Structure 1
Amino acid sequence: MTSRPADYLRVVEAITDQIRSGELSPGDKLPSYSQLAGQYNVSISTTQAALRILRERGLVEGHQGKGTYVTQNPPLA
């Protein structure tokens, strides 16, 4: 799988949309990096880049050894 520059943005937008629509709720656990990579047909490093942006935007938070979760009060703007 090759990674195009826009691939990580596609993942960011998809997960952001799921949070804003309520499909993913505060406290929900996101799939693993490898599951997300398969779901969006991107590399694991692309998935990691997307989740890093989502963390920077305050939409998700990572818990060492437990996974990545939607924050309790994600900004919806």
Structure 2
Amino acid sequence: MTIRTPDYLRIVNGITEQIRSGELTPGDKLPTYSQLAEHYKVGLSTAQAALRVLRERGFIESHPGKGTYVAENPPQA
């Protein structure tokens, strides 16, 4: 039996990998909730949950009215 990764973790892992690989760098703007939801084929609340986890882990920063960006000093490991 295969254990399926929860949808929000697919987004968390994907963005974390993009940050660690240098594809996304500090200050880069992330897609909107709706763009993420469309890209990963999930609901808006799932995209919001993923960004909440990334924010709690220190990978991203949200600026109301401006968007969500890669943190200046994201965790390395």
TM > 0.5: yes
1: distance between equivalents of 2:5 and 2:62? 23
Read off the aligned partner of 1:74 and give its amino acid letter. P
Which residues of structure 2 form unaligned runs of 5+? none
2: distance between equivalents of 1:57 and 1:42? 21
Residues 28-67 of structure 1 aligned to structure 2 (within 5 Å): 28-67=28-67
CA change 1:5–1:13 in 2 (3 A) is closer
Read off the aligned partner of 1:68 and give its amino acid letter. T
1: distance between equivalents of 2:59 and 2:5? 21
- The alignment of Structure 1 onto Structure 2 pairs a total of residues equal to 74
Partner of 2:25: 25
Higher-Rg structure is: 2
Read off the aligned partner of 2:28 and give its amino acid letter. D
Moved over 6 A (4+): none
- Output the aligned Cα RMSD: 1.3
Does residue 15 (structure 1) correspond to residue 15 (structure 2)? The answer is yes
Q: TM-score, normalised by structure 1?
A: 0.92
Which residues of structure 1 form unaligned runs of 5+? none
1:7-53: CA deviation from partner (whole Å, max 9, x where unpaired): 00010000000000000000000011000100111111000000000
Q: TM-score, normalised by structure 2?
A: 0.92
